[in-house]
Amino acid sequence: MTKKPNTSRLHIPEPPFRPGDTPDYSHISVPAEHTLAKPDTLCEGHETSQHALGLIRVLRFNGEAVGEWNPNLSEEQLLKALKDMMMTRAMDARMFTMQRQGKMSFYMKSTGEEAMSIGHAMALRSDDMVFPTYRQQGILISRGASIKEMMCQCLSNAGDPLDGKSIPVLYSFKKHGFFSISGNLGTQLIQGVGWAMANAYRDEDGIASVITGEGSTAEGDFHYALNFASTYRAPCIINVVNNQWAISSFQGIAMGEGQSFAARGTGYGLATLRVDGNDVLAVYAATAWAAERARRGGGATVIEHFTYRKEGHSTSDDPSKYRPEDEPDVWPFGDPIERLKAHMILLGLWDEDRHAEQEAACKKEIREIYKQAEAMGSLSGDTNVNDFTMFEQVYETPPRHLKDQIDMFKAEQD
Amino acid sequence: MAIDIQMPALSPTMEEGTLSKWLVKEGDSVTSGDLLAEIETDKATMEVESIDEGIVGKLLVEAGTDNVKVGTVILQLLEDGEVAGDLSAPAAAPSPTPEIAPAAAPQMAAHAPAPKPAAVMAEPEYGANVKLIPTTVRDALRDAMAEEMRRDEKVFVMGEEVAQYQGAYKVTRELLEEFGEMRVVDTPITEHGFAGIGVGAAMGGLRPVIEFMTFNFAMQAIDHIINSAAKTLYMSGGQMRCPIVFRGPNGAASRVGAQHSQDYSSWYAHVPGLKVVAPYDAADAKGLLKAAIRDPNPVVFLEHELLYGETFDVPDMDDFVIPIGKAKVKREGSDVTICTHSRMVGHSLEAAEILAKDGISAEVIDLRTLRPLDTDTMVESVKKTNRLVCAEEGWGQHGVGAEIAAVVTDQAFDYLDAPPARVHQEDVPLPYAANLEALSLPSVQDVVDAVKKVMYVER
């Protein structure tokens, strides 16, 4: 079929590189760190419209931290950030391997995106409620959740705090301000805004932080969340983790002709920041700015965390089918752990030997915790989940027909 | 205890591969991350890492073996002190030793503090000294919301046109004046949006009453109602609680066409985790809405536009709350049981009057709650009358009547003198023209005819 020139033609966006291509990202400009000023947190939303198109950065590749967004974290905070990112990566590696060994049906790694979770969690208050999606396990690690319980949730065994009622990775930890992850994408966005509005109604100053991948910004929930957050000035942060890939759909499928995901907020009059998501200090700084704005009554900020999904979407995905295998290695924003490491070495707080020791120690600790978790059951043996939990928590108190079911089941067991 | 190393999958679709080469031999010490073997498929080659530290026990698959199934145990790692001779052949499905004490055998798992029992357990009783006030269903619903908002400042109303306009059907009349704009909240036009806001606010500790202009528009919000409100308590292991009411008119009005007339009773009544209430008269509307607002679970509260303006007596009591989950015998009878809800209760009562003139005594049961369903009241009635008619306004297939007929057939089959009959809407989208609409919807005469059918009398 030949088409006449200058006629309407269906446009299907294509990623720059496919398997077999040599990925070259030299066209992506890595902006200098000083180009975006840090406005007052109560500025008008439109005063941040340029921040939606640029990129807030603190860490240079040589390890220097520069510019007015530098959060100047203490030595203790830097050590914690590095350790938590390394623990997250070690846990992901272990769980992926054990999925391949048949111990659980499914797992999702956050490799390459640890800075988003860790930097974000550290800049929030512990009572701020997070409405995450499925690649923010680092938030739980940063907030001190039990890694054994997280693993037991994935193994769906007797130690699973959710009693085997949800699929691996869909964590729920209310005590750590971590909302139940939803398998149907995007619902947490508007629910988190509702939670924030409830806090504002009660004059409480805790804020909500809602998180989506760039792919799910196509869900209506994202747009409703922006609309309600704008209309009612909800004290929240709306985060888009742009890791470039929604399974095999590159970010252009969700973005269309938009200039950035942060810029989606501009039309709603919200503050908008786009941040180097592989720079843990920049993530921290942007989060701290947005959290302060929300707490001071300035309303919501949309933050786009620009990062890269280094591995498959999940254990069910094989990315070599749709993108070059070496693309993660040539991604121009580097690796978040390596970048923080370089910074800490430059400050004299760290060295290669300590790093190697810590890497080995994280691996060992994770292996030991995993061993304890798997001892409580796994998919390859007996899960050991108590059968009677099946009928619990359908309602706050079981109605008659469920009580009857429980009694009949008990009678069968006796 | 020995640790099994299985043939791993290189990709999610791989089912088998070749174990091309062992990189260790029996007796080697390895640590986590050490390379054990090379495996390959026709597409790729991968090295298998050790998942733990230990001593390489028996190599269970020879190098060069093709078609090794994913999940096959290829090697066992021994811990300190174990010797290769200790190993028996690995079980097909190796089972880790459970760490659980035998005392944890069947018993209800201990959990977050048990929620307080529902505040309402019994039908309120009132004597002749209680004044009965004629009230429209519209005002009864309004009064219920107003009373609960006075009682508990966590209760608020949200929806399209609920504040300034006082509700599309004026059910929220004067609430804005009394409670202010923080508690009676007009929203943008997005059912999905404000239903989600409500779910989040409920999980955040408030008690939202979400008004849909009609349940037809709630189709857009059904993801939040079912996937989030109904399931999150369960999926979070009891952590995330969702005390919320979704309310609004359901079913047919007059001449509003297929997209404004559907009865969603059976849709919501299908879903565990939801409670579903569909009252008929003003007293039940008031008492049940108050119960719904106090209920710790998500409640779908189905009203009927054509009942809003009808007047019924409502007892003048300080706290008139009717328990969710209890049907009510609206008219006693001995020949046939009519199980029905919402506006069809009125049709069924009229039908019973007509039938009485023919000497047929019909018992009319108003289900009032569709989930949990009060099966006892229905079954007991059929055991007495031996005949059942189910009447509803929605479509028949997979409808409320189908469920009731199944329950009664199951629990009282030997008492039935005739197959149960169902009255429902014709199996077409509701047409607009007045004559077609009337032909499509179930009528009083349809109920009369169904009763005569199960009585085996001439129509």
Span A360-413, pLDDT tens digits: 999 999 999 999 999 999 999 899 999 989 999 999 999 999 999 999 999 998
Query: Between residues 35 and 94 of chain B, which touch chain A (CB distance below 8 Å)?
Result: 49, 51-52, 71, 93-94
pLDDT in tens, B326-373: 999 999 999 999 999 999 999 999 999 999 999 999 999 999 999 999
Interface test with A, best of B46, B234, B242 (most A CBs within 10 A): B234
A254 burial level (CB within 10 Å; 0-12, 13-18, 19+): buried
For the four alpha carbons of B402, B408, B411 and B417, in that order, the dihedral sign comes to: negative
Q: Which of A108, A113, A314, A133 is nearest to A212 (CA)?
A: A133
Q: Which of B190, B224, B273 sits opposite A394 (nearest CB)?
A: B273
What residue spans define the domains of chain A?
Answer: 45-383, 385-414
Per-residue pLDDT reduced to its tens digit, A197-214: 999 999 999 999 999 999
CB contact under 8 A, B52 and A371: yes
Find out whether B241 and B296 touch, Cβ atoms under 8 Å.
Answer: yes
**pLDDT tier, B94 (very low <50, low <70, confident <90, very high otherwise):** very low
Burial of B189 (0-12, 13-18, 19+ CB in 10 A): exposed
Helix (H) or strand (E) holding B339: strand B336-340
Q: Which fold has domain A45-383?
A: Rossmann fold (3.40.50)
The answer to whether the CB of B208 falls within 8 A of the CB of B195 is: no
Residue B107 has pLDDT above 70, yes or no: no
- Residue pairs spanning A and B at CB distance below 8 A: 215
Counts for chain A of helices (H) and strands (E), in that order: 12, 7
> What rounded mean pLDDT belongs to chain B?
90
Q: Report the percentage of chain B scoring pLDDT > 70.
A: 91
Q: In this complex, which of B6, B200, B272 lies closest to A195 when CB atoms are compared?
A: B200
Based on the number of CB atoms within 10 Å of its own CB, is B34 exposed (0-12), middle (13-18) or buried (19 or more)?
Answer: middle
CA distance B80 to chain A (A): 15
Task: Using alpha carbons, select from A107, A319, A330 the residue that is nearest to residue B11.
Answer: A319
Cα-only R_g, chain A: 22
Residues B376 and B383: beta-carbon distance below 8 Å? no
DSSP B223-260: IIIIIIIITHHHHTTT-S----EEEEE-S--SS--GGG
Chain A contact present for B14, CB below 8 A: no
CA of A159: how far to CAs of A392, B100, B204, in Å?
16, 9, 27
The closest alpha carbon to A104, from A366, A315, A353, A340, belongs to A315
Quote the minimal CA–CA distance from B259 to chain A in Å. Answer: 21
B111 chain-A contacts, CB cut-off 8 A: 392-393
State the ipTM, two decimals.
0.92
Question: Chain A contacts of B234, Cβ < 8 Å?
Answer: 165, 393-394
pLDDT tens per residue across span B405-438: 999 999 999 999 999 999 999 999 999 999 999 9
**CA B401 → CA B265, B397, B437, distances in Å?**
11, 9, 21
Q: Which residues in chain A have Cβ-Cβ distances shorter than 8 Å to B406?
A: none
Minimal-distance CA residue of chain A relative to B110:
A389
Tell me: pLDDT of B156 over 80.
yes
Q: Quick one: residue B125, left, alpha or beta (phi over 0 = left, psi -120 to 50 = alpha)?
A: beta
Beta bridge partners of A249: A246
For B283-331, what is each residue's pLDDT tens digit?
999 999 999 999 999 999 999 999 999 999 999 998 999 999 999 999 9
What residues of chain A lie within 8 A of the CB of B297, using their CB?
A: 395-396
